[in-house]
Amino acid sequence: MTVSAPPSDLAPRLAGLALADIPVPNGREEEWRFTPLARLAGLHALDSATHFVSFKVDAPSGVEISEAVSIDAYPAADRIAAAAANLSESSLQVTVPADAVLEQTILLRLAGADGAAVGRFSVTAGKYSQSQVLLDHTGSAAQAIAGHFVVEDGARLTIVSVHDGDRDNVLAGQHAISLGRDSCVTHVAVTLGGDVVRMVTTVDFTQPGGEAILSGAFFTDAGQHHEHRLFVDHGVPHCRSDVMYKGVLQGADSHSVWIGDVLIRGNAIGTSTYEINRNLLLTDGARADSVPNLEIETGEIEGAGHASTTGRFDEEQIFYLTSRGIPEVQAKRLVVRGFLTEVIDRIPVEDVRARLLAGVERRLGDSSPLFESADNE
């Protein structure tokens, strides 16, 4: 585990900049030092695009689906998100009408073409609406994504983002979330597939009373790189954020990165925030970098805290299960399932939960390095 001191200002600085004014990262920058640039399929260096992400939308009646050619400025947190926003020919627009209460989940499937593809979309939850959207990333293409979620006053939006691409897939980009007065967003990210996944989630409270609940689960296998970065900007009074990310790693050169940046500005009195990242290393050769950063500019808050843990199995848990006749390997599998289920159970779509739990089961099958190491003992 790596823990470092926070920078003097956690806020991203790329919003509003032209792509040509953003230098191509070389890996020595703080925000890129964990990322294997050579494996990004050139997404970090794009200055033009000929391939574009395709979007397939399945939405209940009443939801407005359109395509915008004239696109507003995007609050990019890194160069990949800026490239996706600036180089996309258009932006998919999904709008939930005000006061609508949707029982059916909006399904948005994202797939790339050959080469490095860029894509941009936005979801607007109208005032006092209640809705949920599922983003399903699959396939083998390299994708740069710029997603924007606007949660208007009094609205409640649940976002589930599933990253389960083929083993050679590269996925990178940003989900930028803007919250209105007394609105609430629940964002759940689950990462299982791909070669390299680097996703940035940013939250901007624009009016008092907003709430952001951010959760993530990832299972990183041998050779995979899974990176999740968050920036929560408390810039107005009386807002709340709660962050919980949990990861499991197994196999040689499995690598996860979690960066949790929370900024409480001087005028954000009455803020309540907490973030935690927990990582479970199943085998030797796995590496988890975890950096929680909390910057507080006012003392008039309700509470703020963060935590990060990385380690192996709790021997007391394993002893408890084995003492009741459960074989050790099976006991460890049960612990892993329970560890990740806490996050996966927050997904409101039953068949998606079942699919993801089945993916976890496959990774814990007889070919798992965990199983092999037990055989050799």
Write down the mean pLDDT value for the chain: 90
Report which of residues 133 and 8 the model is more confident about: 133
**Confidence (pLDDT) at 13:** 59
Residues 303-355 pLDDT 10s: 999 999 999 887 778 887 888 888 888 888 888 888 999 999 999 889 999 99
Buried b (16+ CB within 10 A) or exposed e, 141-151: bbbbbbbbbbb
**Confidence (pLDDT) at 8:** 43
| Residues 171 and 165 sit within 8 Å (Cβ to Cβ) | yes
320 Cα distance to chain centroid: 34
Which conformational region is residue 331 in: left (phi greater than 0), alpha (psi within -120 to 50 degrees), or beta? alpha
* Residue 3 pLDDT exceeds 60: no
- Residue range 26-51: average pLDDT? 94
Residue 155: count of CB within 10 angstroms of its CB: 26
Residues 202-214 pLDDT 10s: 999 999 999 999 9
Residues 83-101 pLDDT 10s: 999 999 999 999 999 999 9
* Residue 7 pLDDT exceeds 90: no
Helix (H, G, I), strand (E, B) or coil at 138: coil
This prediction has a pTM of: 0.93
* Residue 362 pLDDT exceeds 80: yes
Residue 331 burial by Cβ neighbours in a 10 Å radius (0-12, 13-18, 19+): buried
- Residues with Cβ within 8 Å of residue 26, at least 6 apart in sequence: 32, 37
* Residue 268 pLDDT exceeds 90: yes
* Residue 134 pLDDT exceeds 50: yes
**Confidence (pLDDT) at 371:** 65
Where are the domains positioned within the chain? 19-313
256 Cα distance to chain centroid: 12
DSSP 333: H
